[in-house]
């Protein structure tokens, strides 16, 4: 009797430990309000001009025990480009640059995630701009974890990488308007 | 060389020189009863334009092109070949009209495909497609008739002016690349003018019109569909290109050629000014300090 009682306590204890352990892979939805997608491009080989996209959505699956099972899918509304000048924004939306009527979204889908160190992973994936898909690689750093005021679990990442716009068919204005575009993405995402 | 000077040199001056050189060769080498034949005209125009296109926005990165601007490169080749085909095939107007109709319907369907079911839904998509194709076809057919009815300098000069003025309209409507491509059409078409002053018996012919109307028509279709440029601005450009009809008026017909050409050019300039000025004002009003 005593042995049975001890065994059942042991099993219950083990089960509760297992349940209390976080699920390996967790999916987060990108919070567009607290996510920034900023880019910079050199103007007339002189100064960097910065702009951003105001509508970024997507999801991130994080598997801390096995980062290879993590993934990222991001969608950007190309018409949400903003450079603090309406005329320039309209020009960026035109076929000279993003051609947003034909290509309304910019997308990124990861193909491989590899841990670099405790807070950094290397993400490889396919970036599609203006209908052209090219592989890109970026180191992504965990910037924090916590809970938002509503009690929802949130997680933050940041990455900076550089692309050549000409590789995506955006060749207008070269070389006066630089080919290299440095992109910084800072994401806050809430657990589903 | 400054940025704008470079764009002007590679996108207009050199293309015009290429067209000029090819025209001289083709018009001198192939004559019929002392009059140059015109099958080389669309090829000369196309070579100059394709060079400009390559320098302005580069070669297409895939085939079929994924981008509306890249289609212009492919279509420039297609309409140049079409111009040669028109020279060697039936001169029956209805057959040519039917052929052009098939061409513009197919090309506009291919180019506008990404917008159909996306930006334009259901019947609206079909309506946009067929309306743009119809407008393009009508304009091309009218220009072909003008080239036959009004031989000489008027048609190429007016087309060159409209492509050039249209370039500014497109520039002030947020499309620099289409603006420059329109400017390239202006430059290569304008290259015919000094040659025609020298050899008054040559004309642009329906062969040359096939190239200009084919490429400029698609520039305008792209401007309306993809930028978007207000339809009235493009319609006004098309109207400005119709002034060679004036040469058929009974009171102007017997007058010297230089007077006819001048009247057509002045009327074209007036209509162009009527569309360019409000477009420029709207651009300045919303531009702020943006200077590219």
How does pLDDT run along chain A (192 residues), one tens digit per residue? 455 555 555 544 444 443 344 457 899 999 999 999 999 999 988 999 999 999 999 999 999 888 899 999 999 999 999 999 888 998 999 999 999 999 999 999 999 999 999 899 999 999 999 999 999 999 999 999 999 888 899 999 999 999 999 999 898 888 889 999 999 999 999 998
Check residue B32 and give its pLDDT: 60
Q: Find the residue in A nearest to B58 (Cα).
A: A171
Tokens 């050039």 correspond to what residue?
B164
Is A102–B289 a contact, with Cβ atoms under 8 angstroms apart? no
A86 contacts in B (CB within 8 Å)?
286, 288
Q: How far is A171 from chain B (nearest CA, A)?
A: 6
Angle at the Cα of A166 from the Cα atoms of A165 and A167, rounded to 5 degrees: 90
Tokens of B188: 């290569």
Q: Which of residues 164-193 of B touch A (CB under 8 A)?
A: 174-178
Q: Find the residue in B nearest to A99 (Cα).
A: B226
Check residue B90 and give its pLDDT: 67
Q: How far is A183 from chain B (nearest CA, A)?
A: 21
Is B177–A95 a contact, with Cβ atoms under 8 angstroms apart? yes
Domain limits, chain B: 3-287
Among the partner-chain residues A88, A93, A130, the one whose CB lies closest to the CB of B67 is A130
Is A132–B66 a contact, with Cβ atoms under 8 angstroms apart? yes
Q: Is A87 on the interface with B (CB under 8 A)?
A: yes
Q: Is the dihedral of CA B89, B94, B97, B101 positive or negative?
A: negative
Tokens of A154: 């949130």
Measured CA distances, B61 to A134, A170, B74, B238, B260 (Å) = 13, 11, 12, 31, 45
**Pairing between β-strand A71-77 and β-strand A105-117 as defined by DSSP bridges:** antiparallel
Q: Is A164 on the interface with B (CB under 8 A)?
A: no
Tokens of B158: 């007016």
Q: Which of residues 6-25 of A touch B (CB under 8 A)?
A: none
Check residue A46 and give its pLDDT: 93
Peptide bond preceding B213 in cis form (omega within 30 of 0): no
Check residue B13 and give its pLDDT: 96
Check residue A5 and give its pLDDT: 52
Is B227–A102 a contact, with Cβ atoms under 8 angstroms apart? no
Is A102:B226 a contact under the CB 8 Å cutoff?
A: yes
Residues spanned by the domain of A32 = 23-191
Q: Find the residue in B nearest to A167 (Cα).
A: B61
SS3 for chain A is: CHHHHHHHHHHHHHHHHHHHCCCCEEEEEECHHHCEEEEEEEECCCEEEEEEECCEEEEEEEECCCHHHCEEEEEEEHHHEECCCHHHHHHHHCCCCCCCCCCCEEEEEEEEEEEEECCEEEEEEEEEECCEEEEEEEEEEEEEEEECCCCCEEEEEEEEEEEEHHHHCCCCCCCCEEEEEEEEEEEEEEEC
Q: Which of residues 41-60 of B touch A (CB under 8 A)?
A: 56-58
Q: With a threshold of 0.90, does the pTM exceed it?
A: no
Quick check: is A30 in a domain?
yes
Tokens of B153: 């300098």
Measured CA distances, B70 to A74, A96, B65, B167, B235 (Å) = 27, 11, 6, 18, 23
A58: left (phi over 0), alpha (psi -120 to 50) or beta: left
Mutate: best of A89, A93, A102, A103, partner B, most B CBs <10 A: A102
Q: Is the dihedral of CA B249, B250, B255, B257 positive or negative?
A: positive
**Pairing between β-strand A36-43 and β-strand A56-63 as defined by DSSP bridges:** unpaired
Backbone dihedral angles phi then psi of residue A83, each to the nearest 5 degrees: -130, 15
Is B191:B17 a contact under the CB 8 Å cutoff?
A: yes
Quick check: is A152 in a domain?
yes
Is A41:A178 a contact under the CB 8 Å cutoff?
A: yes
Among the partner-chain residues A102, A172, A177, the one whose CB lies closest to the CB of B226 is A102
Check residue A9 and give its pLDDT: 54
B3 contacts in A (CB within 8 Å)?
44, 176
Is B171:B105 a contact under the CB 8 Å cutoff?
A: no
pLDDT digits (tens, 9 = 90+) for B44-79: 999 999 999 999 888 888 888 888 899 999 999 999
Report, in angstroms and rounded to the nearest whole number, the Rg of chain A calculated over CA atoms.
22
Reduced to 3 states (helix: H, G, I; strand: E, B; else coil), residue B287 is helix
Is A191:A26 a contact under the CB 8 Å cutoff?
A: yes
* Alpha helices (H) in chain B, listed in sequence order: 3-8, 14-29, 40-57, 68-88, 93-112, 122-149, 154-171, 176-190, 192-198, 205-226, 231-240, 257-287
Burial of B266 (0-12, 13-18, 19+ CB in 10 A): exposed
Q: Is B118 on the interface with A (CB under 8 A)?
A: yes
Number of folded domains in chain A?
1
Check residue B283 and give its pLDDT: 87
Is B66–A104 a contact, with Cβ atoms under 8 angstroms apart? no
Rounded to whole angstroms, how far apart are CA atoms B188 and B42?
A: 10
Tens-level pLDDT at each residue, chain B (292 residues):
777 888 899 999 999 999 999 988 887 756 666 566 678 899 999 999 999 999 988 888 888 888 889 999 999 999 999 999 888 886 778 888 999 999 999 999 999 999 988 888 889 999 999 999 999 999 999 999 999 888 889 999 999 999 999 999 999 998 889 999 999 999 999 999 988 887 766 778 888 999 999 999 999 999 999 999 999 999 999 999 999 999 998 888 888 888 999 999 999 999 999 999 999 998 888 765 566 5
Is B207:B251 a contact under the CB 8 Å cutoff?
A: no
Q: How far is B228 from chain A (nearest CA, A)?
A: 8
Q: Find the residue in B nearest to A105 (Cα).
A: B118
Reduced to 3 states (helix: H, G, I; strand: E, B; else coil), residue B49 is helix
Rounded to whole angstroms, how far apart are CA atoms A153 and A124?
A: 26
Quick check: is A11 in a domain?
no
List CB contacts of B37: < 8 A, sequence separation 6 or more.
B30, B31, B87
- The CATH number given to whatever domain includes residue A34 is 2.40.128.110
Q: How far is B200 from chain A (nearest CA, A)?
A: 39
Mutate: best of A95, A128, A129, partner B, most B CBs <10 A: A95
């Amino acid at each position: 009797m005593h042995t049975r009682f001890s065994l059942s306590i042991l099993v219950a204890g083990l089960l509760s430990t297992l349940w209390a352990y976080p699920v390996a892979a967790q999916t987060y939805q990108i919070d567009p309000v607290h996510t920034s997608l900023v880019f910079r491009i050199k103007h007339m080989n002189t100064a960097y001009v910065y702009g951003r996209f105001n509508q970024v959505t997507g999801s991130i699956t994080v598997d801390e025990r096995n980062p290879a099972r993590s993934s990222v899918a991001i969608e950007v509304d190309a018409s949400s480009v903003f450079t603090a000048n309406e005329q320039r924004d309209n020009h960026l939306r035109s076929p000279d640059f993003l051609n947003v009527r034909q290509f309304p979204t910019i997308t990124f889908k990861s193909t491989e995630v590899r841990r670099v160190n405790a807070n950094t992973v290397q993400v490889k994936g396919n970036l599609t701009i203006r209908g052209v898909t090219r592989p890109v690689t970026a180191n992504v750093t965990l910037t924090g974890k916590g809970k938002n005021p509503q009690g929802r679990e949130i997680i933050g990442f940041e990455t900076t990488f550089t692309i050549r716009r000409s590789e995506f068919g955006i060749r207008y204005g070269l070389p006066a308007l630089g080919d290299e575009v440095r992109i910084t993405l800072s994401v806050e995402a809430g657990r589903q | 060389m400054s940025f704008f000077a470079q764009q002007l040199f590679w996108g207009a001056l050199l293309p015009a020189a290429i067209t000029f050189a090819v025209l001289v060769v083709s018009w001198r080498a192939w004559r019929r009863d002392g009059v140059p034949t015109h099958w080389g005209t669309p090829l000369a125009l196309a070579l100059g334009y394709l060079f400009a296109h390559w320098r302005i926005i580069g070669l297409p990165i895939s085939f079929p092109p994924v981008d509306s601007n890249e289609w212009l490169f492919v279509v420039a080749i297609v309409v140049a070949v079409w111009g040669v085909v028109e020279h060697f095939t039936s001169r029956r107007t209805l057959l040519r009209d039917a052929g052009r109709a098939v061409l513009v319907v197919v090309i506009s369907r291919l180019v506008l495909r990404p917008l159909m079911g996306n930006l334009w839904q259901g019947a609206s998509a079909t309506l946009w497609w067929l309306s743009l194709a119809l407008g393009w076809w009508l304009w091309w057919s009218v220009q072909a008739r003008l080239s036959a009815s009004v031989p000489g300098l008027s048609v190429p000069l007016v087309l060159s002016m409209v492509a050039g003025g249209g370039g500014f309209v497109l520039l002030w409507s947020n499309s620099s690349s289409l603006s420059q491509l329109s400017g390239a059409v202006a430059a290569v078409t304008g290259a015919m003018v000094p040659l025609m002053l020298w050899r008054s018996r040559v004309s642009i012919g329906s062969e040359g019109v096939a190239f200009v109307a084919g490429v400029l028509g698609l520039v305008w279709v792209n401007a309306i569909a993809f930028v978007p440029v207000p339809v009235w601005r493009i319609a006004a450009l098309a109207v400005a290109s119709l002034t060679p009809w004036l040469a058929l008026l009974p009171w102007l017909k017997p007058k010297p050629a230089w007077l006819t050409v001048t009247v057509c050019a002045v009327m074209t300039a007036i209509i162009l000014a009527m569309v360019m000025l409000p477009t420029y004002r709207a651009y300045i009003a919303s531009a702020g300090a943006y200077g590219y």
